[in-house]
Structure 1
Amino acid sequence: MESTSLPFHTRAQGLAALESRLAQDLSYLGWPAKRWMPALTHEGEPVLDVAIIGGGQAGLAAWVGLAQQGIRAVVLDRAPAGFEGPWATTARMETLRSPKELTGPAMGLPALTFRAWFEAQFGEQAWAALDKIPRLQWMDYLRWYRQAMGVDVRNDVEVTAILPRADGLVRLELRTPEEHSSLLARRVVLATGRDGLGGAAIPGFVHRLPRERWAHSSDAMDYAALAGKRVVVVGAGSSSMDSAATAMEMGAASVDLLIRRDDLPRVNKGKGAGSPGLVHGHYDLPDEHKWRIRHYINKLNVPPPRGSTQRVSSHANVRFNFGCAILDVAMRGDTLVIATPKGRFEADFLIVATGFRIDWFSRPEFAAIAPHVRSWSQRFRPAPGDEDQELNDSPDLGPAFELQEKTPGECPGLDRIHCFCYPAALSHGTVSGDIPAISEGARRLSQGIASLFYAQDFELHFANVLAYDEPELLGDEWVPAGTEHILQPDPTSLTTSSGTQP
């Protein structure tokens, strides 16, 4: 790639200049904002303003948004530093799906965009030649973003329990390689990604197979182990193409894509739905309109990117099998036998690229709140034929992405937990998981939290107003005038209000 041809010292100088420009921009904007939140302790234990679970792009943007509001937050991530999110771990696409021009988590700061970071190192000509952003380069950008903005991320920290309390605090139980501990926060943000409220959607048929003979497309696995093997991939979305191509590139003997539909979708309706009107107006839509647009996009499915699909079809031993819903899967000796309406397929390994599901009960850290989270199934009943399990299970969120109780009063403090990950899409639109509108979502989240904090601490803030005594004027800015220049009234000219002399 042309961009890598520049000497390292030249790239480093370019980044240094960009960071200087960013620092100046932040200074002009008064960033970070002045602290206005009270410092709290509980029985001698310090209390965080906000704890953010997840240090991927959503968690980083949320932290910056809160800092812009003068709110201190800490990001907790179980991954080692620099490996937050899927980009350098389980993602297998060569490039991002999104157009390179999207500003992502830059929060309105031109010097914080991927383009600024890229051009600072590789130049404008390299930017013009770039088609899509390479996946690993996006991870490099996010690492730089974290460093440049000074985001407070605590790595190798797993949250094992989230415990809202009636006193307005949330206790987080933590585990690190060295110890178990806990912390208190006034609010918690779940920036836990596409699978952040559940996990991989696993078809029931795979449970009849030995675990070493199948994987979900999101699993961390060594694709080199598929060398020489016959592989079947179930599905036809982006992750299906990525898994199929990676398997072939790692030496698989063949890959059969088993596709339930009779054709691949051709149009990305989600892309067609994007506009500032939808970004800012989705939350205020009537419930039936929210359901209508999200269900329509879900029903038609998002097509895999053209480049990803061509990456698969460039291999001779890949077959696209349409109309092949899975009827049965079984082991016959050492061979997987997969029955479909078109006939049987034999394989050595099965990859299911079947997406993700919302399932609070499958995540141990959610055990205390799982029975109490209100979902859209309690809020809205779609018309017959418009049922949608993903939407049904989506959390019913308030204006600041806060969770709401299924039964009021049964889980005090639940609304101190904010869902800033993909399952917020039905309530808020796609502003909390994907690149296009992540900054707008982070602003909505941080401004909403600032508003909630102010309302909760109103008496304290009002007391601060009452106690505020910094004078604007000291009394020495003027000299009071005497009376010698004031004309005294003429008694003969005075009249009463009735127009007669007294």
Structure 2
Amino acid sequence: MTCQFRPTPGAAQGLDALAARIRFDLECLNLPPASWVPERRTETGEKVLDAVIIGGGMCGLVAGFALRAGGIHNMRIFDRSPEGREGPWLTYARMETLRSPKTLPGPAYGMGPLTFRAWYEAQHGADAWEALDKIPRPMWMDYLIWYRKVLGIPVENEVEVKRVTPEGGYLRLELSGVGAAESSVLTRKFVMATGRDGTGHPNIPDFVAGLPKRLWSHSSEDIDFPALKGKRVIVIGIGASAVDNSAEALEAGAKEVRHLIRRKEMPTINKMMGIGSFGFTAGYAELPDEWRWRFMQYSFATQTPSPRGSTLRVSRHANAFFHFGEGIAQVWHEGEEVVIETSTGKTVRADFLILGTGFTVDPLARAELGDAAGEILLWGDCYTPPAGEESRELANFPYLNPDFSFRERTPGRAPWLSNIRCFNYGASASLGKVSGDIPGISEGARWLAYAIAAELYKEDVERHWQGMLDYDKPELLGDEWTDTELEDGAGEAVAEPTYQIGG
């Protein structure tokens, strides 16, 4: 199937034409519409924002676009990173290409000209698109930068939300960072579009507790790969992040890289890929708890494999080794050497250790929520799985409302948590893959915007009612008709004359 709209190839002209097309389409769709949310101010005159989003990466951008497309303009988006460095794409993500198929619409929000494909073809042409296999990771970041620019999404960079507290029915956000224009803001709704570690932190196993930090790093950290040239490196794990970091070390000239893998076999099948559909996206959140748990627990247990290209990127090196069935019993150091005893009693020595152990979901790690983080209702509080389906990891996920909001563990302790939306990886157990992964991100953003709009309208219903009563702009001016007096008997039938034939 071919697109009818083909921007002229050539970076400048093509992107200019594409931007013009986007502006035209937005105008045709009346997007964004005028703001409909009544302004709120405190008794001291401080302006109250309708929404604040933290995270200016893919999730935050499409969430911001969705809110504006719904007529919610009184919002701000903060990101702690410098402009152009939002999200993982140029930081700890180290794969060569994205896993997702290039054809997925991603954050396009139902608009063809906003897709990666339209952006790519505008610069390189249709033939180059057909020849493209997977999307190069840095190119995806270039696309997101363009997406933000062409839509005029107002992200404020180098601003961090340090603390969230309730205040007068609103949320007070304490800000820090060189980009912060003020020390705090008030908002009605708070959206955590914080990506993979949005409700947790990097998973750091206890076995590195006694190891000097100079001898190890987590895959999410900055790693000086050139310094690993000629060194022996051990990577813990076999997931995508572990494999990508292994490849980086090998390409930097590491003497050898050994994967220590607790699993007995290499995971080879992405089970979620096999059931992806509009039905799954729409229906997962409506399933009873036992089915939602079953789907997610099975996905976790079978593990998503590293992409084929990433794995080959490692295995093509003769000095790369995959050791299965070798969990970690203990780790220590002897001078500058890392020593590991595996679960099978073997000893391995190396110069550096990389933890490819992913992220853990742990709402208690969200320091900005303070003690209230402990009041977030978790799946482990609500559901006890049958034997064989236990998962400590899944039990730690927040048990969310259908509108992405947190629930209280103890009713009345922290009711203001319902004004916080978990629009990140932490929502996947409750609502599915609609708040972090490329395939369902636009659908998730649409749900989020609908939910926030509905709640804002309900909270302001008396003002909207009064607005209806006060509205007095006439559509008819009085010159469209003539008033006439009704006569008595008007419309009475008049008898028709009768005629006789032949007489």
Q: Which range, TM-score by smaller chain?
A: over 0.9
More displaced 10-residue stretch of structure 1: 364-373 or 416-425: 364-373
What amino acid does structure 1 have at the position aligned with 2:413?
A: E
Give CA-to-partner distance per residue, 1:316-359, whole Å, 9 cap, x none: 11011111111111112332111121621110000111111122
Asked whether the equivalents of residues 9 and 121 of structure 2 are also in contact (C-alpha less than 8 Å), the reply is no
| Distance in 2, Cα, partners of 1:370 & 1:237 | 29
Q: Point out where structure 1 has 5 or more consecutive residues left out of the alignment.
A: 1-7, 491-502
Equivalent residue of 1:60, what SS? helix
Asked whether the equivalents of residues 95 and 310 of structure 2 are also in contact (C-alpha less than 8 Å), the reply is yes
Asked whether the equivalents of residues 14 and 123 of structure 2 are also in contact (C-alpha less than 8 Å), the reply is yes
Asked whether the equivalents of residues 164 and 412 of structure 1 are also in contact (C-alpha less than 8 Å), the reply is no
Report % sequence identity.
49
Per the alignment, residue 27 of structure 1 pairs with 27
Per the alignment, residue 493 of structure 1 pairs with none
Per the alignment, residue 296 of structure 1 pairs with 298
Per the alignment, residue 49 of structure 2 pairs with 48
Per the alignment, residue 38 of structure 1 pairs with 38
1:477 aligns with 2:483: no
Asked whether the equivalents of residues 163 and 368 of structure 1 are also in contact (C-alpha less than 8 Å), the reply is no
Give CA-to-partner distance per residue, 1:373-425, whole Å, 9 cap, x none: 11111211111221112221111111210111111111131100000001100
1:67 aligns with 2:45: no
Change in Cα spacing, 1:485 to 1:118, as seen in structure 2 (3 Å) is farther
Q: Cα offset for 1:361?
A: 2.8
Aligned counterpart in structure 2 of residue 120 of structure 1, from 109, 122, 145? 122
Q: Normalized against structure 1, the TM-score is what?
A: 0.93
Give CA-to-partner distance per residue, 1:298-321, whole Å, 9 cap, x none: 110001100000000111110111
Asked whether the equivalents of residues 9 and 124 of structure 2 are also in contact (C-alpha less than 8 Å), the reply is no
Asked whether the equivalents of residues 156 and 179 of structure 2 are also in contact (C-alpha less than 8 Å), the reply is no
| Distance in 2, Cα, partners of 1:359 & 1:397 | 14
Per the alignment, residue 96 of structure 1 pairs with 98
Asked whether the equivalents of residues 158 and 179 of structure 2 are also in contact (C-alpha less than 8 Å), the reply is no
Equivalent residue of 1:337, what SS? strand
Q: Cα offset for 1:485?
A: 9.9
Per the alignment, residue 326 of structure 2 pairs with 324
Per the alignment, residue 467 of structure 2 pairs with 464
Give CA-to-partner distance per residue, 1:418-450, whole Å, 9 cap, x none: 000011001110100100000000000000110
Asked whether the equivalents of residues 323 and 342 of structure 1 are also in contact (C-alpha less than 8 Å), the reply is no
Residue pairs, 1:337-352, within 5 angstroms: 337-340=339-342, 341=344, 343-352=346-355
Residue pairs, 1:152-191, within 5 angstroms: 152-165=154-167, 167-177=168-178, 181-191=183-193
Q: Cα offset for 1:475?
A: 2.1
Give CA-to-partner distance per residue, 1:135-190, whole Å, 9 cap, x none: 0000000000000111110000011101134x331110000137770001110000
1:426 aligns with 2:436: no
Per the alignment, residue 5 of structure 1 pairs with none
Per the alignment, residue 57 of structure 1 pairs with 58
Residue pairs, 1:241-320, within 5 angstroms: 241-320=243-322
What amino acid does structure 2 have at the position aligned with 1:384?
A: A
Per the alignment, residue 139 of structure 1 pairs with 141
More displaced 10-residue stretch of structure 1: 221-230 or 333-342: 333-342
Equivalent residue of 2:294, what SS? helix
Per the alignment, residue 500 of structure 1 pairs with none
| Distance in 2, Cα, partners of 1:125 & 1:58 | 30
What amino acid does structure 2 have at the position aligned with 1:132?
A: K
Asked whether the equivalents of residues 9 and 125 of structure 2 are also in contact (C-alpha less than 8 Å), the reply is no
Equivalent residue of 1:308, what SS? helix
Aligned counterpart in structure 2 of residue 437 of structure 1, from 437, 440, 449? 440
| Distance in 1, Cα, partners of 2:291 & 2:483 | 66
Per the alignment, residue 499 of structure 1 pairs with none
Equivalent residue of 2:415, what SS? coil
Per the alignment, residue 499 of structure 2 pairs with none
Per the alignment, residue 393 of structure 1 pairs with 396
Asked whether the equivalents of residues 261 and 322 of structure 1 are also in contact (C-alpha less than 8 Å), the reply is yes
| Distance in 2, Cα, partners of 1:240 & 1:342 | 23
Q: Cα offset for 1:483?
A: 4.3
Asked whether the equivalents of residues 10 and 122 of structure 2 are also in contact (C-alpha less than 8 Å), the reply is no
Q: Please give the root-mean-square deviation of Cα atoms over the aligned residues, in Å.
A: 1.9
| Distance in 1, Cα, partners of 2:13 & 2:345 | 60
Q: Cα offset for 1:476?
A: 1.4
Aligned counterpart in structure 2 of residue 355 of structure 1, from 353, 358, 383? 358
Per the alignment, residue 336 of structure 1 pairs with 338
What amino acid does structure 2 have at the position aligned with 1:184?
A: L
More displaced 10-residue stretch of structure 1: 390-399 or 209-218: 390-399
What amino acid does structure 2 have at the position aligned with 1:68?
A: A
Asked whether the equivalents of residues 243 and 310 of structure 2 are also in contact (C-alpha less than 8 Å), the reply is yes
More displaced 10-residue stretch of structure 1: 154-163 or 40-49: 40-49
Change in Cα spacing, 1:178 to 1:399, as seen in structure 2 (3 Å) is closer
Per the alignment, residue 381 of structure 2 pairs with 378
Equivalent residue of 2:197, what SS? coil
Q: Point out where structure 2 has 5 or more consecutive residues left out of the alignment.
A: 1-7, 494-503
What amino acid does structure 2 have at the position aligned with 1:290?
A: R
Q: Cα offset for 1:486?
A: 5.4
Residue pairs, 1:187-266, within 5 angstroms: 187-266=189-268
Per the alignment, residue 405 of structure 2 pairs with 402
Q: Cα offset for 1:488?
A: 7.0
